[in-house]
Amino acid sequence: MTIQLKDLGRAVLETEYAVRGPIVARAQELEREGREIIYCNIGNPQALEQKPITYLRQVLALAQYPALLEQAANLFPSDVLETAKALLKGSRHGLGAYSESKGIRFIREAVAQFIHERDGIPTDPEAIYLTDGASKGVQTALRILISDPSDGIMIPIPQYPLYSATITLYEGKQVNYYLDEQHNWKLSKAMLEMSLQEAKRYGVKVKAICVINPGNPTGNLLDHDNIAMVIDFAKAHNLAILADEVYQENVYLPGDKFTSFAKVMHEKHEKDVSLFSFHSCSKGFLGECGQRGGYMEIRNIPADVVAQITKLQSVSLCSNLTGQVATYCMVRPPKPGEPSHDLYVQERDGILNEMKKRAVILAEGLNQVPGVQCNVVAGAMYAFPRIQIPEGRTDAEYCLSLLEATGICVVPGTGFGQVPGTAHFRTTILPPTHQMREVVERFKTFHVNYR
């Protein structure tokens, strides 16, 4: 048979992923025609001139091609050689063999140690799953949670479309809770309660709440009290929590600090709320999106459910080994005194300082344009400015015109969700700093003309 579109299920057909939608397709078409395109549509740092961290790539090179350990040892610092050897020993059979389904135990131990040092809390390597980017972990958690079409998952609006797309694909119900744009995308208890009650009225059985911290696309950062509030809310309503913490290194404002859900949960001695936390090699300052490394850590999940999660993970045998090694490098960077340390710190700080600068250039620049309001970018890699556009126009039309006129590729707010009647777009802060200024200038001219 030749498969037809009508043969596909409704869930597949209804699944949408705006970050790579029609505007991006048009951008690629224009690029083929010779236009210069500035891709601000996706958090893919190395596609926008960000250089890989040397340490990570050196370790990966040796792990992939162990012959270099003998043949070219003088090309690598001694700590890189030691790390690669330890990884190869820990993997037992190298990167060409499947690992345990949860991932190499040696690497999961390093992840557990990382969480322990970050949060000062006990962590179990057996509660860690190495995943192909955070995306696969999120999909596993949602697969476990959605067991019936009336099962609902609360997600922030605006959100990262991995959530809406996966909930649609698994035929669950998306339950929106709005972040308060007027107050820097604050997450309020009143809003959570309202959204939950509304869902219940429609017969939705809400199973979990997902929180993205720092936020994509909003760039907001939750503080300790906010996180404690979400945990109390989850407990009161018998919900699990999905804590998407892939931007934990991307925190820009002086005095701000990332706080994990795991840490607050531990402080509260909370044993009755299941927690799935996610981290990734794609973001932060590594920006290793293509390596597909990440992990999921679980807490307060009974052993029989853990066995089901492990079973699901084992259906794909294991996550890719290159990504597992990249995850090791993320959680176990060179320590002070080790030969790679200084260069590592220099590269890390260089990348984060540029992001910090660009976050300010972008938000301040956009706020100077009449009819545009942009909240401060406190974290992550994005701004989600609100735009005033002429009656009858959509933000998709706006973004397409912006692309055609300026070569700047951004994503319409509809792809992330927004309060009905408002219009936004999402842009990254990833173009190099000199280009970021250019983006803001081109955008200003365009917006004024468009209105």
Ligand X SMILES: Cc1ncc(COP(=O)(O)O)c(C=O)c1O
Q: Which of 56, 84, 107, 162 binds ligand X (CB under 6 A)?
A: 162
Smaller CB separation from ligand X, 324 or 340: 324
Smaller CB separation from ligand X, 280 or 375: 280
Q: How far is the CB of 429 from ligand X (least distance, A)?
A: 13
Q: Which of 133, 156, 334, 417 binds ligand X (CB under 6 A)?
A: 133
Q: How far is the CB of 229 from ligand X (least distance, A)?
A: 20
Q: Which of 275, 289, 318, 372 binds ligand X (CB under 6 A)?
A: 289
Under the binding rule (CB under 6 A), the answer on residue 294 touching ligand X is yes
80 Cβ contact partners less than 8 Å away, ≥ 6 residues apart: 55, 58, 59, 62, 339, 340
Residue type, 436: M
Smaller CB separation from ligand X, 294 or 340: 294
| Piece of the chain touching ligand X by CB under 6 A; list 23-31, 65-73, 128-136, 433-441 | 128-136
Q: How far is the CB of 326 from ligand X (least distance, A)?
A: 11
Q: How far is the CB of 102 from ligand X (least distance, A)?
A: 17
> Mapped to the 3 state alphabet, what secondary structure does the chain carry?
CCCCHHHCCHHHHHCCCHHHCHHHHHHHHHHHCCCCCEECCCCCHHHHCCCCCHHHHHHHHHHHCCHHHHHCHHHCCHHHHHHHHHHHHHHCCCCCCCCCCCCCHHHHHHHHHHHHHHHCCCCCHHHEEEECHHHHHHHHHHHHHCCCCCEEEEEEECCCCHHHHHHHHCCCEEEEEECEHHHCCECCHHHHHHHHHHHHHCCCEEEEEEEECCCCCCCCCCCHHHHHHHHHHHHHCCCEEEEECCCCCCECCCCCCCCCHHHHHHHCCCCCCCEEEEEECCCCCCCCHHHCCEEEEEECCCHHHHHHHHHHHHHCCCCCHHHHHHHHHHHCCCCCCCCCHHHHHHHHHHHHHHHHHHHHHHHHHHHCCCCEECCCCCECCEECCEECCCCCCCHHHHHHHHHHHHCEECEEHHHCCCCCCCCEEEEECCCCHHHHHHHHHHHHHHHHHHC
Smaller CB separation from ligand X, 81 or 175: 175
The residue with its CB nearest to ligand X is 133
Smaller CB separation from ligand X, 43 or 79: 43
Q: Which of 242, 246, 326, 330 binds ligand X (CB under 6 A)?
A: 246
Q: Which of residues 295-324 bind ligand X (CB under 6 A)?
A: none
Q: Which of 58, 101, 123, 135 binds ligand X (CB under 6 A)?
A: 135
Under the binding rule (CB under 6 A), the answer on residue 244 touching ligand X is yes
Smaller CB separation from ligand X, 168 or 406: 168
Under the binding rule (CB under 6 A), the answer on residue 212 touching ligand X is yes
Q: Which of 280, 322, 375, 427 binds ligand X (CB under 6 A)?
A: 280
Size of the site for ligand X (CB under 6 A): 14
Q: How far is the CB of 53 from ligand X (least distance, A)?
A: 16
| 412 beta partners | 425
Site map (CB under 6 A) of ligand X, residues 41-80, x = contact: --x-------------------------------------
Site map (CB under 6 A) of ligand X, residues 5-44, x = contact: --------------------------------------x-
Q: How far apart are CA 271 and CA 265, in angstroms?
A: 8
Under the binding rule (CB under 6 A), the answer on residue 408 touching ligand X is no
Q: How far is the CB of 73 from ligand X (least distance, A)?
A: 32
Question: Does residue 262 contact residue 297 with C-beta atoms inside 8 Å?
Answer: yes
Q: Which of 282, 291, 327, 428 binds ligand X (CB under 6 A)?
A: 282
Q: How far apart are CA 345 and CA 367, in angstroms?
A: 33
| Piece of the chain touching ligand X by CB under 6 A; list 50-58, 71-79, 82-90, 132-140 | 132-140
Q: How far apart are CA 193 and CA 370, in angstroms?
A: 35
Smaller CB separation from ligand X, 43 or 158: 43
Q: Which two tokens stand for residue 406?
A: 């300026």
The site for ligand X (CB under 6 A) is made up of 43, 133-135, 160, 162, 212, 216, 244, 246, 280, 282, 289, 294
